[in-house]
Amino acid sequence: MDTHRGELRPCNREGNSLMVWEMIAPEIVSEAINFNATKDEKWQYDSAKRDSMAAKQTEGVAYLWNLLSKHNIALLADEVGTGKTFQALAVAALLWKQKPHARVLVVAPNTTLCTQWRNEYETFVRKLYKQIDHKVKSCVNDKPVQGMEIAKSLDELAAVVQRATAHMYFVTIHAFSHLSQKDASDKAVSAASEAKKLHDKIKQAPFCCEGFDLVIIDEAHYLRNKNGGSQRTAAAQTFFQNDDSQLAQKVLLLTATPNHTNKTDIANILSYFVTSDYPPYKNAANDAQTLMQIFGLRRLRVLSVGEGDETQNFGKYEYRDEQALPATFAAHPEAEAFFAIYQKRLVSELEHSKEKRHLTYGYLEGFESIGRDIEKLDADNQQAKSSSVDSPATGEINEEAEEANAEENGEQSKEAFSRALDTKLLQSLTASYREKFKAFPKHPKYRALVDKCVPSAEALINTPSIEDLKHLIFVRRIPSLRELTQRMNERYDAELATLMLHGWADGSVDNLVKANYKRDVFSEIIKQVGKADIAENLDVDPENDDDQEATKGNESLASAVAQLFVVKRDLHSQSDAANVKLRFIKNESIYSLFFEPAADYKQAGYSYHYRSDDTNKRALYKSAAQDARYKQTKDSDLLSEVEMSKQQNHSEDRFNTELTTCWGLVYAELTDAERKQLATWQDKTPKIVENFSNYIRAGFLYASPVFLEVYAWFKTYEKQESGSHLSAETSYRGFCEFVKLKLPNSLLLKYFKAALNTFEMLCEKIVGHKLDDWKREWTQLKSQTNPVWFASGDTAASTRESLKLGFNSPFYPHVLIATSVFKEGVNLHLNCHQVHHYGLAGSAGDNEQRVGRVDRMYGSLNRRLGTGEGTLKILYPFLAASIDEDQVASFIRRKRDVENQLDKCLQDNADDVIHQEETASWQHLLHKPVRKDANASEPHDAVDPYPATFDGLLRDSAVSEQKAEDTYPRPDITSQLKELLTKASAANLHATDEKSEWLYKLERQLSATNDTTERYQPIFVKLDFSAAFSAVVPDTAYIVRLASPIASKDTLQQVAEPNWPRLVTELTQHYPLVRAVLNNEAQNSHFYLSAVCELPLFANDGKLGLLSQAEITLCLQQLEAFADALEYALFNGQQDLRMKHVLTGTSVRGSGQASIHNRTVDFSQAEWRKYSLASGDVEIIQAVVDLETLKGMLGKHKPAMAHIAMHCNSLFPFINFVADDTAGDTGKVMAQIAFPSVDFNEEERGVLKAWFNIIC
């Protein structure tokens, strides 16, 4: 990039010069990255101890780097669950360490995995990358220096690459499909032509004239069909290799099953990126083993437990426990007759021969009937067809479902995904059966799986571990997906009804179940026992109205018991259960205290509640409890909430004695280690504990059987105290005493402990939430109200994310039923160690991918191995003595035959034909755990098939001798900044609390004028970072932000002058270095409206520069004058905000992480102009932008027309949007960047102009 001119040149070869990839040893990787940091922060790679996964990952990074150095391509084929993503990210990090402006592209199967990659990189940098070097890890909250953008299409990818506001880009493999012109006669040729245009466009982008520095292909086996003739194949070939033009300088391929079904797959995958005449590739002659030896790396998974010399490593055959799950027609002869007739008709009508029996028999893997009349059954089947991959309900091709179906079913019809050739036959026979027996036929295979996955009420209550309730089930077809969901939820309902009525209406369970949980029957039960709970004075706010979007369209599959607890806005239409639940939610109910944390986050109770000063004189419990906790902290965000609460008109009413909460009761039952975890979070910041509290509250109230247990306690206690006229306080205290006796063996305690043990991992690795995001309501978890739910290619991406969150939590769903859409790339291991193959996988490789969702490091299995009880249960249900058993037997035998070959990536053509002679005596082929010291008759070879080797690498090579580079740690940066600020302000600079986002604060007395007395203006100083802005710079740029708070949202709304935004415009003309910012995230602090100045701080090769005392001085002067004048005018001189009165809260964002509008890169002709003003000399670059463009930047947030520009000022650093027409009639806004003329050098000028062009 030519920073002197401020232009992002299309192809600046100097800025994109080729980097020399020197060979490295694992020790060099270990200097920068600690793959064992979660267990041992001081861990270092030791070549004498190479067995652990941390050592293998360290070696893997070095070996991959060396392969890329030698061949420009590498294939990482480590087994599923070995951390391939982190290894690939480590390679990218080492690249950025040497070349900070390098561009990296990641191609992943779907957008869910793109998001997962982005989250994983943030975790990798924060947790595993050791040094703050300003190249990979910034000194601002340990954030990655690299900006990241996800593109939904190749067109969008080309556009975002040209904008150059990121270092890492993500796109899906499905983006290569459907590129062709609609009227093209040859779709593949047209797709290739469009891909070529996009290839050329990307290589004209800044920093990309030699192509991406690194391209990472996740699940690279998607590219194995080189000669398939599809659009995707043709487009991908041209996109990555266009004649002699390569899109990638280096390519890293990731797949655990590179040959998948055929030994030619590896050669096909490589051919997308390697020219056919490249000698190592050409000489291998498509031989898979030779290609893996040259280009590949494959190690087998090892799960480690313990630390140091006590570490134990387990291979997969030491803990895998494969089990047969037979089902029979015993006691159901009529169902057996149905199946016999079905088989006979199947052969006669569909002419299926014995030798060609296939895996998609509808009865076995797609029979859907129960709970529906025949008309509804037919309508559901028709709906399944209309929502299938070839004709989705949206009218658009569901690409992921289509790909998953083709991948799973090979040459079978796409229609088999939701229907089969025998669907009509099944419907006809089912109708006849129902007419004869007045019921639907029994299905033993479904029943066997339901029995295995759904515990009785007693087993549920007494479960030793919540993890035992989690089951992952894979099916092949949508009907079985729906049928299993409905049957399991129905079975769960019967058990949950027992739990719900326990202790107060036990004799009514059968009546409720037979009535299918109808509300009127439930109401009758309530009347028989006692009075119904009426939620008086507990109006339902929109946020308390339960979200049923997740089950919309699938109500017949959902839990009926869960529906009884759904809170509705119309209180008269909801059940007693929902009314009681509302008591535990609403602020006005004393029971809302129950799910609050203890006052000290341990066991302390609460001594008062609020009483509103309005005419209703309402008691407010939950808000008083929150303020009581926040007051005990030193956190500025929490304290600002207390100050804002004081502005609400209410008084304090004391309790007679302190009231406890369930948290306080649970704390007494926690182990020392569990208490230590809570204390650690509290010491870091109480916001983590608050976030955890929100998480378990959502799980308890919405997504688990916990509230059913609490409801039973409540009704039992209510029945026990019937006739007593107790005050609210006495009633609540008595209820807590009642619960205390129940707690030791309660579901509430077990779920609390399970949530506590996995919360940190869930936030960081699964959902990408900040651990201290204390305002998060966990809405996605609240939508998981069913014990069992499903995912297919037609499931919305947002729902899949919610399911992934819920299943990885201890909460619902307990059972997740999925098609191949969750077969690969998705982590589902935090709380699950049981996998069921209801529908068999298409190949042994697919089977391994499925199991790999839970057979992973740092999950349930890994923890259980540490207790000595760890096994991974892998179950194969089948209908005994039928073709179904033949299928399973044939599959297990073939899987066992190819396992060693699969481990070595040498699996040959796989078939799914059932050979009858193979099916006898097969269950001994199922794997059982065999520990290393056991005398196994058939021990498995645990040697890595294609290991990382460094025999030819000299340990004293030039790279190995590199010393840690000099860099500025954060204390050195803040110290230098403090020195400049002190000299510039001539005032005492005060450091803020170490947990505050602000570094320093200062307050100078302003000179009195004729119109005013002496006034003060507080100023806060922050070191911030914007990955988007820094991406414009060849190295790294920080932002020094000076901000003066003016008003909270409440105080600003009291301003009498409606045209005050016009005053902002006038002040900007006098003080152009200052931006007026409205920040919707800081409504409760005085930073809702603030005045802001910003200066860049560049980190080049570990050195800081281009920030001067003169620049800071001028910024301070203009900031004080601007802020004071605005504050004086807004409040008619009645407010003079002092430092001690400031509510800080969340400050202006300005990080540039907001979505940059998708515009064509056509840079404006605006240039810097110098202005000599009374307030000082500045240079300004300006352009006019449309108001509609600004509205688009704000997304769903719709502020008043006159405030739009100031709200946009909270989105991006440096850019000042100024409304010259505050009424918005012209639809135009002036955008500008102003900078002090003094010391304004060419590099600053060029970078800021480039940033201005991108945004404006």
Exposure b/e, 333-343, CB count within 10 A at least 16 = b? eebbebbeebe
Is residue 277 classed exposed, middle or buried when 0-12, 13-18 and 19+ CB atoms within 10 A define those classes? exposed
Read off the pLDDT of residues 149-198 as tens digits, 9 standing for 90 and up. 999 999 999 999 998 999 999 999 989 988 888 888 888 999 999 999 99
Contact of 252 with 295, CB cutoff 8 Å:
no
SS3 976: helix
Give the span between the Cα atoms of 320 and 332, in whole angstroms. Answer: 34
Read off the pLDDT of residues 645-671 as tens digits, 9 standing for 90 and up. 877 788 999 999 999 999 999 999 999
Give the pLDDT band of residue 614 (cuts 50, 70, 90): confident
Phi, psi dihedral angles at 1237 (to 5 degrees): -65, -35
Least confident of 274-288, 642-656, 864-878: 642-656
Question: Looking at this protein, which amino acid is placed at residue 125?
Answer: V
Contact of 749 with 700, CB cutoff 8 Å:
no
Position 1162 pLDDT exceeds 50: no
Least confident of 4-8, 90-94, 490-494: 4-8
Nearest to 929 by CA among 488, 372, 394, 314: 314
Is residue 348 classed exposed, middle or buried when 0-12, 13-18 and 19+ CB atoms within 10 A define those classes? exposed
* Cis bond upstream, residue 1058 (ω within 30): no
Contact of 541 with 472, CB cutoff 8 Å:
no
Structure tokens at 527: 């009347």
| Domains of the chain in sequence order | 73-301 (3.40.50.10810), 330-443 (no CATH), 590-782 (no CATH), 970-1150+1160-1255 (3.30.1460.10)
Give the span between the Cα atoms of 851 and 610, in whole angstroms. Answer: 53
pLDDT of residue 943: 87
Type and span of the H or E element at 251: strand 251-254
Maximum pairwise Cα distance, the chain: 105
Position 395 pLDDT exceeds 50: no
pLDDT of residue 434: 78
Contact of 835 with 860, CB cutoff 8 Å:
no
Give the span between the Cα atoms of 1244 and 1256, in whole angstroms. Answer: 18
Exposure b/e, 457-490, CB count within 10 A at least 16 = b? beebbeeebbbbbbbbbbbbbbbbbbbbbbbbbb
Question: Looking at this protein, which amino acid is placed at residue 1140?
Answer: K
Give the span between the Cα atoms of 1075 and 1058, in whole angstroms. Answer: 20
Please report the DSSP string for 78-124 in residue order. PPTTS-HHHHHHHHHHHHHHH-TT--EEEEESSHHHHHHHHHHHHHI
Type and span of the H or E element at 748: helix 747-761
Select the more confidently predicted residue: 284 or 1192. Answer: 284
Nearest to 843 by CA among 783, 903, 911: 911
Give the span between the Cα atoms of 161 and 105, in whole angstroms. Answer: 10
pLDDT of residue 477: 83
Pairing, β 1089-1100 against β 1103-1105 = antiparallel
Please report the DSSP string for 303-330 in residue order. EEES-GGG-EEE-GGGTEEEEEEEE--T
Position 940 pLDDT exceeds 60: no
Position 1249 pLDDT exceeds 70: yes
Contact of 1185 with 1199, CB cutoff 8 Å:
no
Give the span between the Cα atoms of 605 and 594, in whole angstroms. Answer: 11
pLDDT of residue 6: 43
pLDDT of residue 436: 84
Other C-beta atoms lying within 10 Å of the C-beta of residue 816: 25
Position 255 pLDDT exceeds 90: yes
Exposure b/e, 766-790, CB count within 10 A at least 16 = b? bbebebbebebebebbbbbbbbbbb
Give the span between the Cα atoms of 56 and 948, in whole angstroms. Answer: 8
Q: Kindly report the pTM of this predicted structure.
A: 0.87
Q: How far is CA 624 from CA 598, 642, 651, in A?
A: 13, 9, 10
Structure tokens at 309: 């010399």
Nearest to 831 by CA among 846, 811, 851: 811
Least confident of 524-538, 1078-1092, 1197-1211: 524-538
Contact of 441 with 430, CB cutoff 8 Å:
yes
Read off the pLDDT of residues 2-31 as tens digits, 9 standing for 90 and up. 443 344 444 543 445 567 889 999 999 999
Question: Which of the listed ranges 396-410, 546-560, 700-714, 906-920 does the model predict with the highest average pLDDT?
Answer: 700-714
Give the pLDDT band of residue 859 (cuts 50, 70, 90): very high
Is residue 1199 classed exposed, middle or buried when 0-12, 13-18 and 19+ CB atoms within 10 A define those classes? middle
Q: Which residues contact 1000 (CB under 8 A, 6 or more apart)?
A: 977, 978, 981, 989, 990, 991, 992, 1020, 1021
pLDDT of residue 1034: 83
Read off the pLDDT of residues 433-442 as tens digits, 9 standing for 90 and up. 878 887 778 8
Q: How far is CA 56 from the centre of its chain?
A: 26
Structure tokens at 564: 């009884």
Phi, psi dihedral angles at 487 (to 5 degrees): -65, -40
Stated length of the chain: 1256
Position 148 pLDDT exceeds 80: yes
Give the span between the Cα atoms of 1179 and 6, in whole angstroms. Answer: 14
Q: How far is CA 512 from CA 371, 494, 520, 576, 1232, in A?
A: 16, 9, 10, 14, 68
- Percentage of the chain modeled with pLDDT above 90: 56
Position 379 pLDDT exceeds 60: no
Give the span between the Cα atoms of 510 and 233, in whole angstroms. Answer: 58
Position 918 pLDDT exceeds 80: no
Nearest to 284 by CA among 297, 273, 271: 271
Position 683 pLDDT exceeds 60: yes
Position 1144 pLDDT exceeds 80: no
Contact of 791 with 816, CB cutoff 8 Å:
yes
Contacts 24+ apart (CB under 8 A), 752-756: 752/666, 752/696, 753/670, 753/674, 754/465, 754/466, 754/467, 754/810, 754/831, 755/692, 755/695, 755/696, 755/699, 755/809, 755/810, 755/811, 756/670, 756/674, 756/677, 756/678, 756/692
**In degrees, to the nearest 5, what angle opens at C-alpha 377 toward C-alphas 374 and 383?**
145
Structure tokens at 911: 């078939």
pLDDT of residue 724: 80
Give the span between the Cα atoms of 40 and 48, in whole angstroms. Answer: 18
Position 96 pLDDT exceeds 50: yes
Contact of 641 with 605, CB cutoff 8 Å:
no
Is residue 139 classed exposed, middle or buried when 0-12, 13-18 and 19+ CB atoms within 10 A define those classes? buried
Least confident of 857-866, 954-963, 1204-1213: 954-963
Give the pLDDT band of residue 1058 (cuts 50, 70, 90): confident
Read off the pLDDT of residues 317-365 as tens digits, 9 standing for 90 and up. 999 999 999 999 988 888 888 888 887 887 776 655 443 444 345 677 6
End-to-end CA distance of the chain: 18
Q: How far is CA 762 from the centre of its chain?
A: 9
Q: Which residues contact 631 (CB under 8 A, 6 or more apart)?
A: 639, 642
Q: Which residues contact 1225 (CB under 8 A, 6 or more apart)?
A: none
Q: Which residues contact 133 (CB under 8 A, 6 or more apart)?
A: 97, 965, 967, 1102
SS3 668: coil
pLDDT of residue 43: 93
pLDDT of residue 870: 87
Other C-beta atoms lying within 10 Å of the C-beta of residue 919: 18
